[in-house]
Amino acid sequence: MKFKTSVFNSKTAQTIFRLGIFAVLAAIIVLMFPRYNNSFRYHFEVGKPWGYSLLTADFDFPIYKTDEQLTKERKQLLTTFTPYYKYVPQTQRQVPVISLQDKEWLEENGLTRIKISPSGKTYHFPDEVYTMASAFAHFGYECGQNLVRDTALTEKRMNQYLSSIVPTQGIVQKGEKIIDHGEIVTERTYQILTSLRRAYDDESLGTQQRTLSIMGEVILVMLFLCLFVIYLYVFRLSYLRSTSKVLFFCLQIFIVIGLACLALRFNLTVYLIPFAWVPILTRVFFDSRTALFLHFTTILIASIVVPVPVEFFFIQIVVGMVAVSSLSDMTRRAQLVQTAAWILLAQTVAYTAITFAQTGVFTSIDPWMYLYFFICFLLTIGCYGLIYAFEKLFRFISSITLVELTDINSELLHTLAERAPGTFQHSMQVSNLAAEAAKTIGANALLVRTGALYHDIGKITDPLYYTENQNGVENPLLQMDPRDAAQVIIAHVTEGEKIARRNHLPEVVINFITTHHGTSLVRYFYNTYCNAHPHEKIDQSLFRYPGGKPTTKEGAILMMADAIEARSRSLDDFSEEAIAKAVNLMIDSQIADGQFAETPLSFKDVEDIRRVFVSRLTAMNHHRISYPTLNK
């Protein structure tokens, strides 16, 4: 009872830890969100329709003048301003002479008078004020500069003068309509919306609204992540029970959302961020449904902070669907480039279509968007490096790696072919049988093919102990005690695991090596020993493989294919009936021994596998006609 309680507590703790990962991710995401314009996230442009619902004023706020208006008013007012100058000590004062820089400053600001402090005498510029050059040209003799600008007094008087400019023009009252959905943003409306944004940024309004805004962000992020967790619980429970898979999903969301927030903080467009990384990476290692659901979760979270969220969400949905559809099974590097190209095309078409649908004019198209999409295309191709990184970090395996492992010219498989040619041929036949069965029941054919090629790699150590490599030589195991002979046979599993780890094979391939016999008996030597010792209590552990049992469809298929291919070599009759009998007998004995109890195989799967094995073995062992000899 204590053991069960301990196991229960351990599983509960692991579940809480995995859910805690999602909670930590939510907190980090909210902290990463940009905080500017926290309560006013509407995005709007002059000449484009308002993409949100009816907007009314929640409070009274002034309409602020634009920078252009204020600049124009300042310039106009400054034309009547009189700057202050003072005489340089110990200079002759016949005529007022200023520097060339001051002359340019007066002309630039449209000033027509200067005032001498402290006397207050005024001179008109440029008629009564000279530079050294203009004084010499006018009077015929040199005149030194005798006036300098009184900067402190001029700035003081100028600020007082400009303070008369009112920064606002009118007021919007609480409850007043500002703009409704679909209405075009005019210059006037733009000015009002900008004023409302400025009002929201006012510190007097910020504390309560910022708090509520952050609470809303937390709730939304937690909601989206909870929906993804519910999806995993209902449809992919094995993923949710794996800490490495949960970390993989969360890390993808963190990377993409982090890059989006970084772009927003530096006033860059989020369309530079390759959101397609999420569905591509997830599809490479897992399935299409999970890839699409995780992508939707990510873009929903990003939509909280991005400008024009409706347009963004529309385009990114298209991106995710194209990525998943065009990358059904990535077995070549070129497929990633093709997928990125399809995504580029889809983004271009989607953006153009939604812009035309909203505005109906060519001029509303932003040509820079197409450049952003192209840069995103290049970054999407860079996802190949992330595939390799995640393989090493989480010990996942991609289809590309599996294809590379199936290369029979690789060093390890070449060594197997040289030292144990019979085992190599057996492995090739098993891989063909297993792959065909996997295709039939919807399992991973490439994975089981790879596992089949390496499942007997341990026989490299002592190849002559196995009948397929003996070539008519007397079997040395027959001269040994059956218990010792059984241990020699069993050793090819443990030796295979050692060889695989030395050669850095992926864990999923090593799992095929350790489970392809499960915990079954070495029947030949077990039966031989039982027959020789009919009254002895036999220790079956001396004749059992160490296991464990297969836990996947692919592992079960390999166990069946391995046993049946070996059994077929001992048949004298290769008729379909004889092969079917051998197949059924072998699979039934494995089922009775409980070897597939931990796999998700259904009865229909087993029947389909039987049918494929019978068909393939019959075809592989068909008889050819005898060729007649030439009569001399």
Q: 457 in helix, strand or coil?
A: helix
CA atoms within 13 A on the CB side of 307: 14
Question: Amino acid letter at 563?
Answer: A
Q: Which two tokens stand for residue 598?
A: 């931990």
Using CA atoms, how far apart are residues 572 and 581, in angstroms rounded to an integer?
13
Using CA atoms, how far apart are residues 541 and 549, in angstroms rounded to an integer?
15
pLDDT on residue 425: 93
Q: Which one, of 548, 561, 558, 563, lies nearest residue 597 by Cα?
A: 548
pLDDT on residue 401: 86
Q: Which residues, given as ranges, of the chain have pLDDT below 50?
A: 1, 3, 7-8, 37-38, 204
Using CA atoms, how far apart are residues 246 and 240, in angstroms rounded to an integer?
6
pLDDT on residue 74: 82
pLDDT in tens, 586-611: 999 999 999 999 999 999 999 999 99
Using CA atoms, how far apart are residues 545 and 489, in angstroms rounded to an integer?
9
Could you count the other beta carbons within 10 Å of the beta carbon of residue 360? Answer: 9
- On whether the CB atoms of residues 319 and 372 are closer than 8 A, the answer is no
pLDDT on residue 366: 82
Q: What is the 3-state secondary structure (H, E, C) of 88-118?
A: CCCCCCCCCECCHHHHHHHHHCCCCEEEECC
* Architecture of the 399-620 domain: Orthogonal Bundle (1.10)
**What single string gives the DSSP state of each residue in 145-201?**
--EEE-HHHHHHHHHHHHTTS-SEEEEEPTT-EEE-TT-B--HHHHHHHHHHHHHHT
Q: Which two tokens stand for residue 388?
A: 């390799």
Tokens 């252009």 sit at which residue? 68
Q: What does the domain layout of the chain look like in residue ranges?
A: 2-36+206-394, 69-162, 399-620
pLDDT on residue 294: 97
Q: 537 in helix, strand or coil?
A: coil
Q: Which residues contact 281 (CB under 8 A, 6 or more apart)?
A: 252, 383, 386, 387, 390
- On whether the CB atoms of residues 213 and 39 are closer than 8 A, the answer is yes
pLDDT in tens, 417-442: 999 999 999 999 999 999 999 999 99
Q: Which residues contact 488 (CB under 8 A, 6 or more apart)?
A: 462, 465, 477, 480
Q: Quote the pTM value.
A: 0.68
Q: Which residues contact 401 (CB under 8 A, 6 or more apart)?
A: 391, 506
Buried b (16+ CB within 10 A) or exposed e, 116-129: beeeeeebebeeeb
Could you count the other beta carbons within 10 Å of the beta carbon of residue 625? Answer: 5
Preceding omega of 258 cis (within 30 degrees of 0): no
- On whether the CB atoms of residues 49 and 358 are closer than 8 A, the answer is yes
For the chain, the residue count is: 632
pLDDT on residue 37: 46
- On whether the CB atoms of residues 71 and 103 are closer than 8 A, the answer is no
